């Protein structure tokens, strides 16, 4: 959760979204008064507002609220961060895992804040390439570490449910800043996220 107190009922946009979802259902040829669909516009509106709630949150503020002075200067990795997003081209889900590493430069950050930053950017209409850059740049600009790296692996329903309908395809994007531009450091990160330490 981005915010445990997130209350979808507080958004006045819900009523307008309901009207539009009702129109969409009707245009598709369905009976909006059918028992199973009576509350669908309301449910869909609340779901859509939640799934795009990242617009309401400042991801840099999340990091700034949990930065601590520390002399540690080795790699910190948080891997297998699950995320769910909506493709901006078809508004269909894409989902997967993000792997993030940074090398502190005087400050560390609470480990739970990195997944929260991923969630903030994922809960917007997105493309995977932009999501990768936004998370990378936010961490780099806010923490100002010696280096930052990110790899995102995702499956896209727009490729699986429609279009080419390839069920087993996956998309990988990556980004590297600072020390991770060096091949040795980058390879260490890639090796660690590929391995199981259990």
Residues known to be catalytic: 87-90, 128, 156, 158
Are residues 2 and 52 in contact, defined by beta-carbon separation less than 8 angstroms?
no
The CA-atom distances, in angstroms, between 44 and each of 17, 89, 120, 169, 182 are 8, 19, 20, 28, 46
Are residues 88 and 125 in contact, defined by beta-carbon separation less than 8 angstroms?
yes
168 contacts: CB under 8 Å, gap ≥ 6? none
Give bridge partners of residue 107 from the DSSP assignment: 69
Neighbours of 13 (CB within 10 A): 10
């Amino acid at each position: 959760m981005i915010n445990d107190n997130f209350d979808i009922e507080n958004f006045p946009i819900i009523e307008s979204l309901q009207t539009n979802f009702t129109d969409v259902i009707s245009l598709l040829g369905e009976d909006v008064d059918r028992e199973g669909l009576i509350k669908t516009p309301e449910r869909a509106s609340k779901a859509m507002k939640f799934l795009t709630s990242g617009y309401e949150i400042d991801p840099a503020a999340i990091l700034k609220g949990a930065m601590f002075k520390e002399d540690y200067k080795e790699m910190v990795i948080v891997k297998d961060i699950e995320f769910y997003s909506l493709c901006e081209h078809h508004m269909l889900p894409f989902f997967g895992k993000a792997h993030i590493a940074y090398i502190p430069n005087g400050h560390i950050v609470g480990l739970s804040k990195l997944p929260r930053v991923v969630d903030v950017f994922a809960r917007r209409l997105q493309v995977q390439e932009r999501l990768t850059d936004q998370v990378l740049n936010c961490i780099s600009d806010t923490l100002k570490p010696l280096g930052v790296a990110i790899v995102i692996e995702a499956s896209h329903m727009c490729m699986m449910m429609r279009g080419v309908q390839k069920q087993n395809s996956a998309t990988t994007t990556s980004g590297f800043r600072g020390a991770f531009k060096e091949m040795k450091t980058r390879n260490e990160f890639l090796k660690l996220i590929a391995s199981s330490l259990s």
